[in-house]
Amino acid sequence: MVREKSDKSIAALRTVADAIRWAEEKLALARIYFGHGTDNALDEAAWLVSAAIAVPPAELAKHHRRPIAAAARARLKELVEQRIATRKPAAYLLNEAWFAGLRFYVDERVIVPRSLTGEFIRQGFAPWVDATRVRKILDLCTGSGCMAIACAVAFPSAQVDAADISNDALAVARINVDTHGLGDRVRLLQADLFSNLAGNRYDVIVTNPPYVGRAEMRTLPQEYRHEPRLALESGASGLDAITRILRDAADYLEPEGVLIAEVGNSNTALQKKFPRVPFHWLTTGSGDDSVFLLTAKQLIEHLRR
């Protein structure tokens, strides 16, 4: 759909719908990169407008005809100008991100939550996992804690460990655990992958580890420069972290446990490196195949080979 250009100034905006169209046009013309919570100018404009008028994004459609106050127009103008000038992801400007239907606090100590694994968490990993048997879950490389918290919500009888190498990230995760009132069920642990987790066994291990190669890091859009490099880069090929996870995960899974990992566009390189590993790629609603599942038995067989 081609939108007609608007020549309205910010002061001329009358309704929330006007504000969304104005912000969309500004963002589109600036050619910024979308990929940290939205993937297009319209959705990002709606997100910024929802923040300016202080309503949740999911409820914004009900407010389209609402008059927009001068203070909200000024706030929107500030947000759009910052987004364009700094190339910071909107999530950092707003200190919020949405994942698996839940709101999280974020800042530049963690990457912006955008894992495709959220779709499968909300489904309780069905049909691959029997939710009634899940008692203990590990979120490896937890960052903001979003996957750990989403798992705790999806599996209300489970205890969840959330591990990360970064104490800065764990400080952000603590904010989110406390905000969601899950301090009794989500335990935060400082660990370099499985270090510091000896003696623990899990029914499910979920992870969205670093998977960007060194050369690829240099080509990423400016928005990624605001995210912690530690959470993105994983050696020359991008496979260092996931290779260690495949090596060690079986030691931390129950006999019927599963590993669910997201590796982004490193999926092809991973299959090439381990051609005999029977990765089961979980297809998202959008057709993406970057999340795989392996059982404990398959991981043990991988080690034997």
Domain boundaries, position 114 = 108-304
- Report the DSSP pairing between strands 253-262 and 202-207: parallel
37 and 175 assigned to the same domain: no
Give 164's strand partners.
190
Q: Are residues 226 and 177 in the same domain?
A: yes
Q: 121 and 67 in one domain? A: no
What pLDDT is attached to residue 11? Answer: 81
Same domain? For 254 and 129 the reply is: yes
pLDDT at residue 289, as a whole number: 86
CATH number at residue 221: 3.40.50.150
> Do both 178 and 230 map to the same domain?
yes
Is 176 a domain residue? yes
Q: Domain for residue 183, yes or no?
A: yes
User: Does residue 1 form part of some domain?
Assistant: no
Q: Is residue 44 a contact partner of residue 98, using CB atoms and an 8 Å limit?
A: no
Residue 4 lies in a domain: no
User: Is residue 212 a contact partner of residue 238, using CB atoms and an 8 Å limit?
Assistant: yes
> Is residue 16 located within the same domain as residue 80?
yes
As a whole number of angstroms, the distance between CA 47 and CA 27 comes to: 12
Say how many domains are in the chain: 2
Q: If you compute the radius of gyration of the chain from its CA atoms, what whole number of angstroms results?
A: 21
- The residues of the chain scoring below 50 in pLDDT are 1-7
CB count within 10 Å of CB 229 equals: 12
Final residue in a domain of this structure, among 59, 94, 129: 94
Residue ending a domain, among 72, 94, 116, is 94
In a domain? residue 102: no
Same domain, 21 and 158: no
* CB-based contact 230:283 (threshold 8 Å): no
Do residues 284 and 155 both lie within one domain?
A: yes
Residue 3 belongs to some domain of the structure: no
Q: In this structure, is residue 227 part of a structural domain?
A: yes
Does residue 170 share a domain with residue 47? no
CA angle 140, 146, 150 (to 5 degrees): 100
Q: Same domain, yes or no, for 290 and 228?
A: yes
pLDDT of the residue at 8: 62
Residue 279 belongs to some domain of the structure: yes
Looking at the structure, do residues 237 and 181 belong to the same domain, yes or no? yes
Domain boundary among 94, 119, 145: 94
Question: Whole-model pTM?
Answer: 0.92
pLDDT of residue 303: 82
Please indicate, yes or no, whether residues 116 and 83 belong to a single structural domain of this protein: no
Q: Is the dihedral of CA 73, 74, 80, 81 positive or negative?
A: positive
